[in-house]
Amino acid sequence: MNIVAITSCAGGIAHTYMAAEALKRAAKAAGDQIKVEVQGSLGVENELLSSDIQNADFVLFAADIAIRNAERFQGKIIIEISPHEVIANGKVSLEKAKKAAAEKGVV
């Protein structure tokens, strides 16, 4: 699968980056492609391109605060999950997100 994700947490520091790394590791292990935008205390890093979003099978928000510029994802399947859940078990979180996306029509 081709996935784009945004990670963000209330503090915008440690958990934001830890969730991003957990998603990258889980996607690599599953054979999926993932691009992760980090919205942390330093602002937006690795900002997703329009083409990244357009080509994604679904969008994963691993955030416990509002996503900046969320309108970019209009029309895409969006799956939301807690960054803390992702940190605890990235593999299970990604599998859960993919299952939820499949239920919404992603093949």
What are the catalytic residues?
A: 9
* Residue 37: partners with Cβ closer than 8 Å, 6 or more residues away: 4, 5, 6, 7, 44, 45, 46, 47, 48
Element (H, E) at 75: none
Dist CA 51 CA 11 (whole Å): 29
